[in-house]
């Protein structure tokens, strides 16, 4: 699920300007587990909604970016709840994260060196991207072209250091039905995500460098002018996730889909308070 959302969120960083309503479908799979799923995206003006399905017609999870209100809504259909992340929530969450990480660093001062390293190693395993480390600029290398479904696309490998972490196959916007209409909302969401990453990467705690790595990667990816019709995610040289654009079409979207469903309850972020 997390890899699926990551692939979907990465797609929004390939954008520029837009005007109408679009519906698009993507499929996902995790080769190691045999897990498959699909997602449906809806775009209207500056707003975008992504629904993830494992089976049937009821989404497992949904994400809504409201560009005209500057907020991100994460919807949990299992317990009928949702979380809103706006600028105020980002600031509060960032401050709380700074506090938690500062307390952790203070506690580690009195821990023997070997145990301190063990704790840091556990953090890296359980909280990837949040355990500090050296900031690395991602490298994007053009490696050829391919045919993904009905789309001809250019393949790019993404590296952190010497390690390949992703491969994107990017098709020009002009070759995607409704491509021009998809751009602006996606760029707006990309700017929002970048602002969130900027808040956390500016932290002086050990969280800062890890989030800065992700922010740097998004900045590099936005230089590619097109939509990633295929994204492959790698871990330890093995393919662990794949996402493919199946179809897109211009279709009128009801504005109500960009709001939490009636009867769902608002939840707040909890970081130990």
SS (H, E, C) the chain: CHHHHHHHHHHCCCCCCCCCEEEEEEEEEECCCCEEEEEEEEEECCEEEEEEECCCCCCCEEEEEECCCCEEEEEECCCCEEEEEEHHHHHHHHHHHHHHHHHHHHHHCCCCHHHHHHHHHHHHHHCCCCCCCCCCCCEEEEEEEEEECCEEEEEEEEEECCEEEEEEEEECHHHCCCHHHHHHHHHHHHHHHHHHHHHHHCCCCCHHHHHHHHHHHHHHHCCCCCEEEEEEEEECCEEEEEEEEEEEEECCCCHHHHCCCCCCEEECCCCCC
* Interval 99-133: pLDDT, tens: 777 777 777 777 787 777 777 667 655 554 444 45
* Interval 41-73: pLDDT, tens: 998 888 889 999 987 788 889 999 888 888 889
Confidence (pLDDT) at 175: 86
Rounded distance between C-alpha atoms, residue 96 and residue 271, angstroms: 7
Confidence (pLDDT) at 2: 45
Percentage of the chain with pLDDT > 70?
70
* Interval 127-186: pLDDT, tens: 544 444 555 677 889 999 999 999 999 999 988 888 998 899 999 888 887 776 665 666
Q: Could you tell me the domains of the chain?
A: 2-267 (2.50.20.10)
Confidence (pLDDT) at 95: 77
Checking if the pLDDT of 208 tops 70, the result is: no
Confidence (pLDDT) at 183: 57
Confidence (pLDDT) at 254: 95
**What is the pLDDT confidence band of residue 270, given thresholds at 50, 70 and 90?**
low
User: What is the residue-averaged pLDDT of the chain?
Assistant: 77
Confidence (pLDDT) at 78: 92
- Decide which of 99 and 15 is more confident: 99
Confidence (pLDDT) at 216: 54
Mean pLDDT for the stretch of residues 220-225: 68
Confidence (pLDDT) at 103: 79
- Decide which of 225 and 236 is more confident: 236
Confidence (pLDDT) at 84: 92
**What is the pLDDT confidence band of residue 15, given thresholds at 50, 70 and 90?**
very low
Percentage of the chain with pLDDT > 90?
30
Confidence (pLDDT) at 135: 54
Confidence (pLDDT) at 258: 94
Kind of pairing between the strands at 21-30 and 139-148: unpaired
Q: CB-side exposure of 21: number of CA atoms within 13 Å?
A: 7
């Amino acid at each position: 699920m997390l890899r699926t959302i990551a692939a979907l969120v990465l797609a929004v960083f390939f954008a520029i300007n837009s005007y109408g309503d679009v519906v698009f479908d993507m499929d996902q799979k995790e080769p190691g587990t045999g897990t498959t799923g699909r997602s449906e995206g809806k775009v209207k003006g500056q707003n975008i909604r992504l629904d993830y399905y494992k089976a049937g017609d009821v989404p497992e999870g949904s994400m809504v970016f409201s560009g005209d209100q500057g907020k991100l809504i994460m919807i949990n259909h299992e317990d009928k709840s949702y979380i809103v992340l706006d600028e105020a929530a980002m600031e509060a969450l960032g401050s709380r994260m700074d506090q938690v990480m500062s307390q952790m660093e203070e506690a580690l001062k009195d821990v023997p060196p070997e145990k301190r390293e063990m704790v840091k190693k556990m953090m890296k395993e359980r909280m990837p991207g949040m355990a500090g480390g050296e900031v690395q600029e991602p490298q994007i290398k053009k490696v050829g072209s391919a045919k993904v479904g009905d789309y001809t696309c250019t393949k790019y490998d993404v590296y952190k250091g010497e390690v390949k972490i992703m491969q994107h196959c990017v098709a020009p916007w002009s070759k995607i039905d409704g491509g021009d209409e998809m751009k602006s909302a996606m760029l707006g969401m990309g700017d929002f995500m970048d602002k969130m990453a900027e808040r956390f990467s500016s932290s002086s705690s050990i969280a800062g460098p890890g989030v800065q790595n992700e922010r740097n990667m998004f900045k590099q990816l936005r230089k590619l002018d097109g939509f990633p019709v295929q994204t492959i995610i790698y871990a330890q040289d093995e393919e662990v996730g794949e996402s493919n654009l199946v179809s897109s079409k211009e279709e009128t979207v009801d504005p109500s889909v960009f709001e939490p469903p009636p009867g769902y309850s608002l939840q707040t972020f909890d970081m130990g308070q």
